[in-house]
A and B are shown apart, each in its own frame.
Chain A
Amino acid sequence: SVMATPRADDWSWFPALALGVSFLKCILINAYHSTDFEVHRNWLAITHSLPVSKWYHENTSEWTLDYPPLFAWFEYSLSHVAQHFDKEMLVVQNLIYTSPATILFQRLSVIVTDIVFIYAVKECCRSVREEKGSKDLLGHPFFILAALLLWNFGLLIVDHIHFQYNGFLFGILLLSVARHLQGRHLEGALLFTVLLNLKHIYLYIAPAYGIFLLRSYCFTKDNTDGSVRWSSFSPVRLVALGSIVISVGALSFGPFIAMGQLPQVLSRLFPFKRGLCHAYWAPNVWALYNMVDKALSVLGVRLKLLDVAKLPKASMTGGLVQEFQHSILPSVSPSITLICTLCPTLQPKPHPPPSLALSPPAKFHIWCRPRGARGFLRCLVVCALGSFMFGWHVHEKAILMAILPFSILAVESREDAGIFLMLTTTGHYSLFPLLFTAAELPIKVLLMLLFTLYSFTSLKKLFRGSLLNPLETTYLLGLVAVEILCEVVYPLSPWQHTLPFVPLLVTSVYCSLGVSYSFIRLYVSLLRQHGTDKHKQL
């Protein structure tokens, strides 16, 4: 029977898990979809109906093409299948076109491209360290990892209801990570370069890749104490890596450079005109910053220290992306956020080697004391989370970039599992405002309960014992109170019309506490590992 102790090569449960979640995705086809649906339909239309030279100039619709060229080619290939479903969706002028065939096609395209994600999860599960001892299937780390990744709440909600192609993209990322864990570094590098050319948000974790590959792949040997052996530098490998990056880049951007459109493409990819925060504040440091600023300004007005007329009128959570100024605290510009993103990975260097005065990131840590691919993975997660915490115009969906790779670490170490539970629960809850319709409320609550219940019980069973201290548990239970307050109590209160942004604010600020806490703990664990290494060296 399927539930008995499996043989090492018995993977029959994996297709069952994958098929089960695919059925669930199919049944959500007729659920609410956001404007992202129209965005992708528009891109299908643009790539199909217009010549390549017009792709990045087209602006009939407000949702202009703002992903790198490889993604445009991806949409182009999809559009060839789309024309068999409904030709009308490929007409650029058909704005907000949502025939049943269109919805069916787009939803199915997300479900089908998720096969990349499913394959990547399988590869990651194969790389998980297996513990000896006969456990039943449900207690094996690779089963838990597969369930946590395939049935990830955030991915289900964002991809299959809100509508995006994250499954496909994260599949490529996880596959690249799996290849590095398996020691196949060139493939991993290739996959990551492709990913960068599909969605440039992954630039945030590119430094982690760069330093790791340079250090662990280009330098073939280490000294006995683990530090870099300069003599083992292999130019061949560097050239191999370089050629991969350049050839993929050429494939992707080549046509546009040839047409002289590079500045236009770059301006579409990096629209710094948008504000510090998205319409709904992602639960990061800037949410707390904004909160403090608003609180101080309200306090200032109350205490008659400030003149109301002089305060900027723009609302930060009004629903549109605007530029604005902070009232009391200093305003934040894009360059400041860039420095902040790099800074948290700064660490006090007890014995700084003279040749590396600059280059501070936690990547410094992998440079000095590389701990193989797992250290790289940890650094990747810290980079992703750091960029979420301090980045410019961060979407709350970006939390998935930290959560998904972190799942691999969570099933291998007890401490990581504790941080994971905290980060995942808070991060997933912060996605709730994405689905604001009443009909989808039971679905998001049920799926959240499903995932949270599973992650807690399975990890607790795996590591035999409680993973969170009472304070953390109380904080997480507080999420229930926040949910009831924001979705049940507040809409029935008289302030719903005058101050409609309060539930969003409360959710965002409450979650940023949890996310910040997880970030600090993760960073501390990174430092502690570095500390142990230094200790061992002495």
Chain B
Amino acid sequence: MENWSLVSICVLFGLTARWAVSLNSYSGAGKPPMFGDYEAQRHWQEVTYNLPVHEWYFNTTDNNLNYWGLDYPPLTAYHSLLCAHVAKLINPDWVELHASRGHESYGHKLFMRATVLVADLLIYIPAVVLYSFYLSEGSNKKKVCTVLCILLYPGLILIDYGHFQYNSISLGLALWGVVVLGLGWDVLGSLAFVLSLNYKQMELYHSLPFFCYLLGKCFKQGLAGRGLFLLVKIAVTVLVTFALCWLPFLSDPGQILQVVHRLFPVGRGLFEDKVANTWCSLNVLIKIKTILSTDTQLYFSLTTTLLAILPSSIKLLMKPTLWQFKLALVNSSLAFFLFSFQVHEKSILLPAFMLPLFLKDGLLVPYVVTSLAFLFFSIYLLSAFEHCSEDKLRLGPYRRLLICMPRMDLGRVTKWKFYFSITAMAGLSFMSVALAPPDQLPDLFPLLVSVFSYLHFLGLLLYFNIVQIAEPLQSVRKNQKKSN
């Protein structure tokens, strides 16, 4: 069968899975007075439609920032405005100032879910298809399998179509950036990424790799000639795009400061809730939140984040290839997640870890089904276990590190570790659902989940860093088989 029909079938299947998940409940359904992320998005449509631009990020009589105030960059606000215009055409009650607060109805849910689907279809899904076909390797069948597995990724489906968010827009734009950079169009790639950054500030997690990759490319082309020209082009593109996105706010420095203040709430402390990063896990042993002052916490986390990301960034600067770029993206986002300030559990978009969140939203069944399906398809279609040899996993550097330990087949060790992790995750999921925690430790299960996940993320950070740094500066073999 031709590629286009196979890819269409995969896309149709992915869309069906998405819409089927969206038939379930959303965050904060039927829970006044605050509701949840769904109500937040609806509220932003109300605010952006009814109020003038200079009031969007400010606390006014009409705009109470304590009730889901805007805390994403301007592109989210423009997107909400666009949705609000459509909503107004269908049913004005949905975006009536003040009167529409907490509005929940069958038609409105359909509308909101439809906006997510449209955004996904226009931005994220084409990026996935292009990525699989142009930037990944293997036969055509393998590429189609890659499309299917990426589209079935449960984290994104459950958060966007279940809990309710628009991650597919920011992730999609970032992926467009990666694809376009991979095709060699650096200026367009930086444009896509700047747009992505202006949609969700969480994309800062990916910003250093983009920066280092492009800068490294400029250095390689020689700062005296073409390199400098490229640098100037990219810099101008970035600045102009930023200016265009922030245009309505540029007139008044106070506006810019307020927006930045909303985007980066430094007053809120090192973390909230149970997050699988270093601070939360450390807090189990030492109560850092109470020992250090907020300012110290801020500087401490900033320094550790930068330190964590330094090795990967320097390596990418020195060797700006696509493979290094991909590795750096993983390393950077992991490092930011683990060490930075005020991280939310959703930022990691890894489903097993977000289990407590899904239980609260009533999304247990979709969570179980999509996770199992994704695991099954990835293992079956992408033959993950067959590639579990030492060579394929690039465990060479580990071997050198563990030179003192007895000789063992690290490939098999990895496979067994994987089985163990999956079993442990299944066990934790089951316990969270079926058992009640003991009275002295009411947060036992979320805490266990988060510490368990943290250890995995830390391990992954180390692994990917080692893989990235151990790669020789001069690529000797042109046709490396890459396990993406």
Q: Which residues of A contact B (CB under 8 A)?
A: 1-3, 16, 19-20, 23-24, 26-31, 104, 138-139, 438-440, 442-443, 446-447, 449-450, 453-454, 457-458, 461
Contact = CB atoms under 8 A, between A and B. Distances in A.
Given A16-B380, A27-B21, A443-B20, A450 B9 contact: yes
Contacts of B12: 446, 449-450, 453
Interface string B362-379: 000110011011001100
A443 B1 contact: no
Contacts of A461: 1
Interface residues of B, number: 35
Given A446-B15, A450-B16, A2 B370 contact: no
Nearest to A1: B383
Contact of A26 (B141, B369, B380, B381): B369
Given A439-B110, A453-B9, A20 B373 contact: yes
Interface in B6-26: 8-9, 12-13, 15-17, 19-21, 23-24
B480 interface: no
Contact of B365 (A1, A24, A30, A457): A30
B383 A453 contact: no
Contact of B13 (A2, A439, A450): A450
B5 interface: yes
Contacts of B373: 20, 23
A457 B5 contact: yes
A153 to B, nearest CB: 11
Name the residue in B1, B13, B110, B383 with the highest tally of chain A Cβ atoms < 10 Å from its Cβ: B1
A26 B9 contact: no
Name A's interface SS: helix
The 5 A-B residue pairs with the shortest CB-CB distance, nearest first, are: A23-B373, A3-B141, A457-B5, A450-B12, A27-B20
A443 B19 contact: yes
Nearest to B25: A30
Given A438-B110, A439-B106, A458-B1, 17 more contacts: A1-B142, A1-B386, A2-B381, A3-B139, A23-B372, A27-B17, A27-B21, A28-B20, A31-B23, A138-B1, A438-B106, A440-B23, A442-B19, A443-B19, A446-B19, A450-B16, A453-B8
Nearest to A104: B365
B2 interface: yes
Contacts of B376: 16, 19, 23
A30 B365 CA distance: 9
Nearest to A457: B5
Contacts of B9: 450, 453-454
Name the residue in A442, A453, A457 with the highest tally of chain B Cβ atoms < 10 Å from its Cβ: A442
A2 B383 contact: yes
A30 B142 CA distance: 33
B160 to A, nearest CB: 15
Contacts of B1: 138-139, 457-458, 461
Interface in B372-427: 372-373, 376-377, 380-381, 383, 386
Contacts of A1: 142, 383, 386
Contact of A30 (B8, B15, B24, B386): B24
A31 B366 CA distance: 12
Name B's interface SS: helix
Contact of A20 (B21, B107, B377): B377
Contacts of A138: 1
Given A446-B15, A450-B13, A27 B5 contact: no
Contact of A446 (B2, B5, B16, B383): B16
Contacts of B5: 453-454, 457
13 contacts: A3-B141, A16-B376, A20-B373, A23-B369, A27-B17, A27-B20, A31-B23, A139-B1, A442-B19, A446-B19, A450-B13, A450-B16, A458-B1
Contacts of A104: 365
Contacts of A31: 20, 23
A23 B370 CA distance: 8
A447 B19 CA distance: 11
Contact of A2 (B117, B365, B380): B380
A104 to B, nearest CB: 8
A31 B20 CA distance: 7
Nearest to B139: A3
Nearest to B24: A30
Name the residue in B2, B117, B141 with the highest tally of chain A Cβ atoms < 10 Å from its Cβ: B141
A131 to B, nearest CB: 17
Name the residue in B1, B13, B15, B20 with the highest tally of chain A Cβ atoms < 10 Å from its Cβ: B20
B141 A443 contact: no
A300 to B, nearest CB: 42
B429 to A, nearest CB: 16
A27 B110 contact: no
Contacts of A29: 365
A440 B106 CA distance: 12
Nearest to B4: A457
Contacts of B2: 457
Contacts of A454: 5, 9
A56 to B, nearest CB: 36
B337 to A, nearest CB: 28
Contacts of B21: 27
Contacts of A457: 1-2, 5
Contacts of A438: 106-107, 110
Contacts of B110: 438-439
B8 A24 contact: no
B17 A24 contact: yes
B304 to A, nearest CB: 40
Contacts of B377: 20
A23 B20 CA distance: 11
A26 B20 CA distance: 10
A27 B380 contact: no
A148 B17 CA distance: 19
B365 A26 contact: yes
Contacts of B16: 24, 443, 446-447, 450
A139 B1 CA distance: 7
A422 to B, nearest CB: 20
Interface in B187-226: none
Contacts of A24: 13, 16-17, 20
A447 B15 CA distance: 10
A1 B386 CA distance: 9
A26 B371 CA distance: 12
A16 to B, nearest CB: 5
Contacts of B366: 27
Interface string B144-169: 01000000000000000000000000
B369 A27 contact: yes
Contact of B117 (A3, A28, A442, A447): A442
Nearest to B383: A1
Contacts of B13: 24, 450
Contacts of B15: 442, 446
Contacts of B106: 438-439
B141 A439 contact: no
Interface string B114-156: 0001000000000000000000000101100100000000000
Name the residue in A24, A28, A446 with the highest tally of chain B Cβ atoms < 10 Å from its Cβ: A446
A172 B365 CA distance: 30
Contacts of B383: 1-2
Contacts of A19: 376
Nearest to B369: A26
Nearest to A446: B16
A461 B6 CA distance: 13
A461 B141 CA distance: 16
A463 to B, nearest CB: 13
Contacts of A458: 1
A449 B19 CA distance: 15
B369 A30 contact: no
A26 B106 CA distance: 23
Contacts of A453: 5, 8-9, 12
